[in-house]
Amino acid sequence: MGSVKNLVLGCQVIASDAERRRFIGALKVLILSLILAKGRVHGYEVYKTIEVLGGGRWRPSLGTIYRVLNEMVEEGFIEKHGSLEGRRYVAYYTATPRGAEFFADTAAAYLRRVRLVIELILRASEKLRDLGVEPTEIEELAEGLRNTIEGLLARRRSANA
């Protein structure tokens, strides 16, 4: 990864080391979340899922996905398992305990930041009416986010019961 000067992300080039580290860190968390949710994934599946989730706005190249997957194997976050499917060799990736720990720590840090940002946005949106702007879309999105989170937590509680 050190020899790569620029990462291309859609039409945007990520040039600084700090930007590259943040991008790769976010990609690792996303990859681990996919693996943990599904149990195992293959690299192309990661690529296609990110393409769909990003709506085309956030689309790392397939080469970047495989470089990060290989880096995660070296770091002990995931394991690579091969399988012969027809005449093709397909590599699947599964999470390790070290990867699960990295995911838990990093995801918690992201959620703390996201929570702060959401709180600030909602506080600021309360003041929009004073300026003659209706925060309807902000309120709808916040309500949708709340419903999504409540639904996921309820599903988790019923699965654990």
Give the type of residue at 36: L
Residue 15: per-residue pLDDT: 61
- Taking only the tens place, the pLDDT of each residue in 89-113 is 889 999 999 999 999 999 999 899 9
Mean pLDDT of 73-99: 93
Q: What is the mean pLDDT of the chain?
A: 87
Mean pLDDT of 71-90: 92
pLDDT beyond 70 at 11: no
- Taking only the tens place, the pLDDT of each residue in 109-153 is 989 999 999 999 999 998 998 899 999 999 999 999 999 999 988
pLDDT category of residue 70 using cuts at 50, 70 and 90: very high
Give the type of residue at 102: F
Domain boundaries along the sequence of the chain: 7-96, 98-160
- Taking only the tens place, the pLDDT of each residue in 22-53 is 889 889 999 999 999 999 999 999 999 988 98
Strand ranges for 48-122 from DSSP E: 78-85, 88-95
Query: pTM here?
Result: 0.74
Instruction: Name the token pair of 36.
Output: 């943990």
Rounded to whole angstroms, how far apart are CA atoms 95 and 38?
Answer: 10
Residue 4: per-residue pLDDT: 40
Helix (H, G, I), strand (E, B) or coil at 84: strand
Q: Angle between the 136-160 and 97-126 helix axes, to the nearest 10 degrees? A: 150
Instruction: Name the token pair of 151.
Output: 């639904």
> 7-96: which CATH architecture?
Orthogonal Bundle (1.10)
